[in-house]
Amino acid sequence: MTFTTRFAPSPTGHLHIGHAFSAWTAWQAASEKGGRFILRLEDIDTTRCKPEFDQVIFDDLIWLGLDWELPVRRQSEHFDDYARVLERLIEKGVVYRCFKTRAEILEDIARAPHGAGEVYRGPAEPMGADEEAERVAQGESYAWRLSLDRCREVLGERFGAMRFLDEIKGEQAADPDPLGDVILARKDVGTSYHIAVVHDDALQGMTHIIRGEDLFELTPLHVLLQTLLDLPTPVYRHHRLLTDAKGQRFAKRNLAATLKSMRESGMSAEEVRAKWGF
Ligand code: GLU
């Protein structure tokens, strides 16, 4: 299988030096292996993502010296694909509608037995079909949550056997339990990062996922989705995150750290990489 990896930014602002490190790491790995490097725009959040950032992202990455396959996949053009994934999960009976408000969820978490963790673990009793149909008919908003209890039932022994390889940390058990019952879609959006990323990584033939270690804790959930959907689990590499002089991670609002400001100041990509040590 051809080594295939990607950089998958969300165009909610300008890329910063942390993104450059991530993109460079993935691109360089693909180059070393004579593999494929894919750029994907993760723009399902249509309120926060702005098309004007797309071109800046392309300009930044070209300046950095990267190249990628065309056409670039924009997730906002594929909501139908993600709706089909959600449909499969509904058919499998592993997701449920959750009508609770944020405040109600927080109350439930606070009431949960000690040690249940700071996450939502589902309703004490499943909602009756009549009540659910009534609330849907009333047009109430809801989220689709993944039921870890149902996943355990559906997958049986496969649930506890899920694993993934992290190239830095080594072989890992993929235990989604610390995340609780996560939201996989909202009524109005119809998908989430989790569904879209897992679907697209498989569709685009990713053999290696190279991304920041801030996403490490979500990988067990992605492996669970891959298992439920009969998709292959790629190899992962969760790389270190660059930090500023105060040890803080870079944020898109930190304008001095954006690639756009660096390239407009006349710095070369080599100087930037030398300054940040990659
Ligand atoms: N779109 C995600 C982000 O910008 C990255 C997703 C990933 O690499 O899995 O944080």
What 3 state SS string does 76-124 have?
HHCHHHHHHHHHHHHHHCCEEEECCCHHHHHHHHHHCCCCCCCCCCCCC
Other C-beta atoms closer than 10 Å to the C-beta of 2 total 10
CATH code for position 14: 3.40.50.620
pLDDT at 251: 74
Could you give the angle at the alpha carbon of 46 between the alpha carbons of 236 and 250, nearest 5°?
A: 50
Question: How does residue 115 score in pLDDT terms, banded at 50, 70 and 90?
Answer: low
For residue 95, the cross-strand partners are: 146
| Residue 117 confidence (pLDDT) | 66
- The pLDDT of residue 113 is 72
In this structure, are residues 107 and 100 in contact, taking their beta carbons and an 8 Å threshold?
A: no
Ligand 1 cavity residues, CB under 6 Å? 8-10, 42, 197, 211, 215
Mean pLDDT to the nearest integer, 46-51: 93
Distances (CA, A) of 24 to 16, 45, 56, 174, 273: 12, 25, 16, 27, 9
Average pLDDT over residues 152-156: 98
Contacts for 224 with CB less than 8 Å, ≥ 6 apart? 146, 151, 159, 162, 174, 176
With bands split at pLDDT 50, 70 and 90, how would you rate the model's confidence at 239?
A: very high
Band (pLDDT 50/70/90 cuts) for residue 254 is confident
Atom of ligand 1 nearest to the CA of 218: 9
Residue 114 has pLDDT above 70, yes or no: no
Average pLDDT value for residue range 4-8: 98
110 falls in which pLDDT band (50, 70, 90)? confident
Q: How far away, in angstroms, is 210 Cα from ligand 1 center?
A: 10
φ/ψ of residue 202, rounded to 5: -75, -45
pLDDT tens by residue, 164-173: 999 999 999 9
Averaged confidence pLDDT in the chain: 95
pLDDT for residue 90 is more than 90: yes
Q: From the alpha carbon of 211, which atom of ligand 1 is closest?
A: 8
Range of the domain at 30: 4-276
Tokens (6 digits) for 100? 């609770």
Cα-to-centroid distance, 28 and ligand 1 (Å): 18
Percent of the chain with pLDDT over 90: 87
Q: Ligand 1: which of 193, 198, 223, 249 to mutate, most ligand atoms within 8 Å of CB? A: 193
Dist. CA 9 → ligand 1 center (Å): 5
- 72 and 8 Cβ atoms separated by less than 8 Å: no
pLDDT band at 38 (very low <50, low <70, confident <90, very high): very high
Total of domains in the chain = 1
pLDDT greater than 80 at residue 246: yes
Does the structure show a pLDDT above 80 at 252? Answer: no
For residue 222, the ligand 1 atom closest to its alpha carbon is: 9
